[in-house]
Amino acid sequence: MNIHEYQAAELLETYGIPINAGKVATTADEAALATQQLGGGSGKVAIKAQVHTGGRGKAGGIKLVGTPDEAREAAQSILGMDISGHIVHKVFVVPAVDIAREYYLGIILDRAARGITIMASSEGGVDIEEVARETPEKIIRVTADPLLGLQDFQARMVAFGLGIEPQLMRGFLSIVRSLYDAFVGSDASLAEINPLILTGDDRWLALDSKVTLDDNALYRHPAFDELRDANEEDQTETRARANGISFVKLDGDIGCVVNGAGLAMATMDAVKQQGGDPANFLDVGGGASADQVAMALELVLADPAVTAILFNIFGGITRCDLVAKGILEARTRVEVNVPMVIRLVGTNQEEGRQILSEAGITTVDTMTEAARGVVEASRAG
Amino acid sequence: MNIHEYQAAELLETYGIPINAGKVATTADEAALATQQLGGGSGKVAIKAQVHTGGRGKAGGIKLVGTPDEAREAAQSILGMDISGHIVHKVFVVPAVDIAREYYLGIILDRAARGITIMASSEGGVDIEEVARETPEKIIRVTADPLLGLQDFQARMVAFGLGIEPQLMRGFLSIVRSLYDAFVGSDASLAEINPLILTGDDRWLALDSKVTLDDNALYRHPAFDELRDANEEDQTETRARANGISFVKLDGDIGCVVNGAGLAMATMDAVKQQGGDPANFLDVGGGASADQVAMALELVLADPAVTAILFNIFGGITRCDLVAKGILEARTRVEVNVPMVIRLVGTNQEEGRQILSEAGITTVDTMTEAARGVVEASRAG
Amino acid sequence: MSILVDKNSRVLVQGITGREGTFHTGGMLEYGTQVVAGVTPGRAGKAVHGVPVYNTVAEAVAETKPNVSIIYVPGPFAPDAIMEATDSGIPLIICISENIPVNDMVKAYAHVKAAGARLIGPNCPGLITPGEAKIGIMPGYIHKRGRVGLVSRSGTLTYEVVWALTESGLGQTTAVGIGGDPIIGTSFIDVLELFEADPETEGIVMLGEIGGTDEEQAAAYIKEHVTKPVIGFIAGVTAPPGKRMGHAGAIISGGTGTAAEKIAALNAAGVEVAERPAQVADLMKARLSAQLRAYLCSARMPFSQHDAA
Amino acid sequence: MSILVDKNSRVLVQGITGREGTFHTGGMLEYGTQVVAGVTPGRAGKAVHGVPVYNTVAEAVAETKPNVSIIYVPGPFAPDAIMEATDSGIPLIICISENIPVNDMVKAYAHVKAAGARLIGPNCPGLITPGEAKIGIMPGYIHKRGRVGLVSRSGTLTYEVVWALTESGLGQTTAVGIGGDPIIGTSFIDVLELFEADPETEGIVMLGEIGGTDEEQAAAYIKEHVTKPVIGFIAGVTAPPGKRMGHAGAIISGGTGTAAEKIAALNAAGVEVAERPAQVADLMKARLSAQLRAYLCSARMPFSQHDAA
In B, minimum Cα distance to C85 occurs at B153
Chain centre distance of CA B253:
23
Q: Which of C49, C225, C247, C306 is catalytic?
A: C247
Q: How many CA atoms lie within 13 A of A286 on its CB side?
A: 17
In D, minimum Cα distance to B217 occurs at D101
Whether the bond into C122 is cis, omega within 30 of 0:
yes
Do B90 and B103 lie in one domain? The reply is no
| Domain's final residue, options A45, A71, A95 | A95
Hey, which residues of D are catalytic here? 247
Which one-letter amino acid corresponds to residue B36?
Q
pLDDT over 80 (residue B362): yes
Which one-letter amino acid corresponds to residue C27?
G
Closest CB to A263: pick one of C138, C142, C160: C160
B215 vs chain A: nearest CA distance in angstroms? 22
CA dihedral C77, C83, C86, C90 (to 10 degrees): -10
* C74 close to B (CB below 8 A): no
By residue range, what is the domain housing residue B81?
Answer: 21-95
For residues A377 and A177, give the distance between their C-alpha atoms in angstroms, rounded to a whole number.
Answer: 58
Q: What percent of chain D has pLDDT over 70?
A: 96
Given strand B280-283, what is the order of strands in its sheet?
B246-249, B280-283, B254-258, B308-315, B340-346, B363-364
pLDDT over 70 (residue B41): no
Asked if residue B2 is part of any domain, the answer here is: no
For residues B310 and B38, give the distance between their C-alpha atoms in angstroms, rounded to a whole number.
Answer: 55
Do A64 and A167 lie in one domain? The reply is no
User: What does the pLDDT read at residue D111?
Assistant: 95
Closest CB to B153: pick one of C42, C44, C84: C84
List A residues 139-158 in contact with B (Cβ-Cβ < 8 A).
147-148
If one counts every other C-beta atom within 10 angstroms of the C-beta of residue B344, the result is 28
B225 vs chain A: nearest CA distance in angstroms? 25
| Domain's final residue, options B33, B68, B95 | B95
Distances (CA, A) of D59 to A159, A296, B314, D37, D135: 14, 58, 39, 10, 21
List A residues 218-257 in contact with B (Cβ-Cβ < 8 A).
none
For residues B76 and D104, give the distance between their C-alpha atoms in angstroms, rounded to a whole number.
Answer: 44
Using an 8 Å CB-CB cutoff, list chain D residues near B114.
106, 109-110, 183
* pLDDT tens for each residue of D232-273: 999 999 999 888 888 888 888 877 899 999 999 999 999 999
User: What does the pLDDT read at residue C309?
Assistant: 42
Answer whether D154 sits within 8 Å of B262, measured CB to CB.
yes
Which one-letter amino acid corresponds to residue B129?
E
If one counts every other C-beta atom within 10 angstroms of the C-beta of residue C30, the result is 11
pLDDT over 80 (residue D1): no
Answer whether D111 sits within 8 Å of A169, measured CB to CB.
no
* pLDDT tens for each residue of A37-54: 887 556 799 999 999 988
* pLDDT tens for each residue of D92-130: 999 999 999 999 999 999 999 999 999 999 999 999 999
Q: End-to-end CA distance of chain B, in Å?
A: 37
* pLDDT bucket at B40, cuts 50 / 70 / 90: low
In A, minimum Cα distance to B149 occurs at A147
User: What does the pLDDT read at residue C297?
Assistant: 75
| DSSP at C253 | B
Do B241 and B326 lie in one domain? The reply is yes
Using an 8 Å CB-CB cutoff, list chain A residues near C259.
269
In A, minimum Cα distance to C19 occurs at A287
**Where residue A81 sits, what CATH number does that domain have?**
3.30.1490.20
Do A46 and A107 lie in one domain? The reply is no
In B, minimum Cα distance to C111 occurs at B148
Answer whether A148 sits within 8 Å of B147, measured CB to CB.
yes
* pLDDT tens for each residue of B213-250: 999 999 999 999 999 988 888 888 888 988 889 999 99
Using an 8 Å CB-CB cutoff, list chain A residues near D57.
153
Using an 8 Å CB-CB cutoff, list chain A residues near B148.
147
Provide DSSP, D196-253.
Answer: HH-TT--EEEEEEESSSSHHHHHHHHHHHH--S-EEEEEE-TTPPTT---SSTT---B
Using DSSP's 3-state secondary structure scheme, residue C235 falls into: strand
Answer whether D87 sits within 8 Å of A153, measured CB to CB.
yes
The ranges of chain A with pLDDT < 70 are 40-42, 286-288, 381
Contact by Cβ (8 Å): D196, D228: yes
The partner residues of C256 in beta bridges, in order of sequence, read C253
Backbone angles phi, psi at A237, to 5 degrees: -60, -45
Asked if residue B5 is part of any domain, the answer here is: no
* pLDDT tens for each residue of D223-240: 999 999 999 999 999 999
* Cβ partners under 8 Å of residue B202, min gap 6: B100, B167, B168
| Domain's final residue, options B194, B226, B258 | B226
Do A106 and A84 lie in one domain? The reply is no
C211 vs chain B: nearest CA distance in angstroms? 29
List D residues 109-148 in contact with B (Cβ-Cβ < 8 A).
109-111, 114, 125, 137-139, 142
Single pTM value for the model:
0.92
Asked if residue A307 is part of any domain, the answer here is: yes
Q: What percent of chain B has pLDDT over 70?
A: 98
**Where residue A110 sits, what CATH number does that domain have?**
3.30.470.20
Answer whether C243 sits within 8 Å of A248, measured CB to CB.
yes
Do A254 and A371 lie in one domain? The reply is yes
Asked if residue B346 is part of any domain, the answer here is: yes
Answer whether A281 sits within 8 Å of C210, measured CB to CB.
no
Number of domains, chain B: 3
User: What does the pLDDT read at residue C210?
Assistant: 95
Do B112 and B193 lie in one domain? The reply is yes
Using an 8 Å CB-CB cutoff, list chain B residues near A115.
none
**Where residue B336 sits, what CATH number does that domain have?**
3.40.50.261
Hey, which residues of A are catalytic here? 104, 192
pLDDT over 60 (residue D137): yes
Q: Which domains does chain D have, with CATH numbers?
A: 10-120 (3.40.50.720), 138-292 (3.40.50.261)
pLDDT over 50 (residue D308): no
Do B341 and B252 lie in one domain? The reply is yes
Do B103 and B218 lie in one domain? The reply is yes
Task: Determine the average pLDDT of the residues in D32-46.
Answer: 96
The ranges of chain C with pLDDT < 70 are 299-309
Using an 8 Å CB-CB cutoff, list chain A residues near D58.
157
Closest CB to A265: pick one of C159, C212, C235: C235
Asked if residue A324 is part of any domain, the answer here is: yes
Do B91 and B109 lie in one domain? The reply is no
Q: Give which of A216, A243, A310, A365 to mutate to test C binding, by max C Cβ within 10 Å.
A: A216
Do B243 and B178 lie in one domain? The reply is no
Do B171 and B238 lie in one domain? The reply is no
Which run of H or of E encompasses B204? strand B204-206
Asked if residue A10 is part of any domain, the answer here is: no
Which one-letter amino acid corresponds to residue A211?
V
* D75 close to B (CB below 8 A): yes
Mean pLDDT of chain A: 92
- Nearest CA to D210 among B266, A221, A119, B323? B266
Q: Which of B104, B129, B219, B369 is catalytic?
A: B104
Q: Give which of C84, C90, C105 to mutate to test B binding, by max B Cβ within 10 Å.
A: C84
